[in-house]
Amino acid sequence: MWLAVVSQPFDARSQTPALRELDHDHGEFWVPSPWLFPASGENLSAYERNGIHLNAGDGEFFDISALTGADSTGDGRSVISFDITGDGMPELLVRQAGGGPLLVFENLFPDSNWLRVSLRGSRSNSLGIGSKIECIVNGKTLYRELYPGVSFLSQGPAAVNFGLGDATMIDQLIVRWPSGEKQVFSDVPVNSHIQLTESDPKVRTVIPGKGVQE
Ligand SMILES: [Ca+2]
């Protein structure tokens, strides 16, 4: 397949005609301006389907693309996770160049216990970006790294989520800050959004609409 799309013209109204006759039988197409692309119905990835895999937790991953309906043929460009519904289970937001500008996949997995962690640096950067967080629960260690800018032209919240299954207690939460400081927290409530501050042993909770509780 051959294609061409004019990139970043100085005038958004400008259009460039096709440079030669197109071979539509072999999938060639021409979009005269990038601003017209979403409405053109064309597809840069040749209708390749998006994929999503479920971590079984034992080293295996299951392809649940079709099962979840996430196998869109749109030109996916970025994906972030964020709990829109406020139940602790993160949704997926997929931004596409074609096939619909934005898809939101609500998390309908069975209810599970969870923990959301946001950070405030004192010696490190203010949002703790770059921190490594370990959550030890039921003898298993879950790893997260706080990097909200994870996808093309998109950014998720500066927080990490842990799915805890049926565990009602966290054995330990370990934060390794970019400054090199390591903190260990042992009294962490489940099913809550907590905020941890560098060099401060206090675990604060974040209540939607009310902010950080001391
Ligand atoms: Ca949710």
Ligand 1 centroid, distance to 106 Cα (angstroms): 6
What's the pTM? 0.82
pLDDT computed for residue 211 by the predictor: 92
**Interval between CA 59 and ligand 1 midpoint (Å):** 25
Task: Report CA(162)–ligand 1 centroid distance (Å).
Answer: 13
Domains of the chain: 3-40 (no CATH), 53-105 (no CATH), 113-209 (2.60.40)
Q: Which amino acid is at 75?
A: D
At 3, is the pLDDT very low, low, confident or very high (cuts 50, 70, 90)? low
Q: Name residues with Cβ closer than 5 Å to ligand 1, which is an ion.
A: 83, 85, 87, 89, 107
Q: From ligand 1's centre to the CA of 60, what distance in Å? A: 24
Distance of CA 131 from the midpoint of ligand 1 (Å)? 24
What distance in angstroms lies between residue 40's CA and the mean position of ligand 1's atoms? 33
188: CA distance to ligand 1 center in Å?
21
Spatial distance between the Cα atoms of 175 and 134, rounded to a whole number of angstroms: 7
Give the DSSP letter of residue 67: H
Q: How confident is the model at residue 188 (pLDDT cuts 50, 70, 90)?
A: very high
Reported as a single tens digit per residue, the pLDDT across 66-112 is 999 889 888 888 899 999 999 999 999 998 876 566 889 999 999 99
Q: Show the tokens assigned to 99.
A: 């096939």
Q: Which of 69-83, 156-170, 186-200 shows the lowest per-residue confidence on average (mean pLDDT)?
A: 69-83
Of the pLDDT bands very low, low, confident and very high (cuts 50, 70, 90), residue 185 is: very high
**How far is the centre of ligand 1, averaged over its atoms, from the C-alpha of 71 (Å)?**
20
Ligand 1 centroid to residue 113 C-alpha, Å: 12
The number of beta carbons lying within 10 Å of the beta carbon of residue 90 is 21
Asked if pLDDT for residue 146 goes beyond 90, the answer is yes
The Cα–Cα gap between 137 and 4 comes to: 51
Long-range Cβ contacts of 69-74 (<8 Å, 24+ apart): 69/105, 70/94, 70/105, 72/96, 72/99, 72/100, 72/103, 73/43, 73/47, 73/48, 73/49, 73/99, 74/43, 74/50, 74/98, 74/99, 74/100, 74/103
CA of 182 to the centre of ligand 1 (A): 30
What is the 49 CA–ligand 1 centroid distance (Å)? Answer: 24
Q: Give the residue, 52 or 6, on which the prediction is more confident.
A: 52
Instruction: Report the pLDDT value the prediction gives residue 36, as an integer from 0 to 100.
Output: 83
Q: What is the pLDDT of residues 17-44, one digit of tens each?
A: 888 999 989 888 898 887 787 778 787 7
Cα(98)–Cα(76) distance, rounded to whole angstroms? Answer: 8
117 CB neighbour count, 10 Å cutoff: 25
Ligand 1 centroid–CA 120 distance in Å is: 24
Residue 34: the pLDDT is 77
- pLDDT at position 214 is 81
Q: Using DSSP, state whether 36 is helix, strand or coil.
A: helix
Task: Inform me whether the pLDDT recorded for 2 exceeds 70.
Answer: no
CA of 88 to the centre of ligand 1 (A): 6
Task: Return the pLDDT at 99.
Answer: 57
Q: How many angstroms separate the alpha carbon of residue 13 from the centre of ligand 1?
A: 40
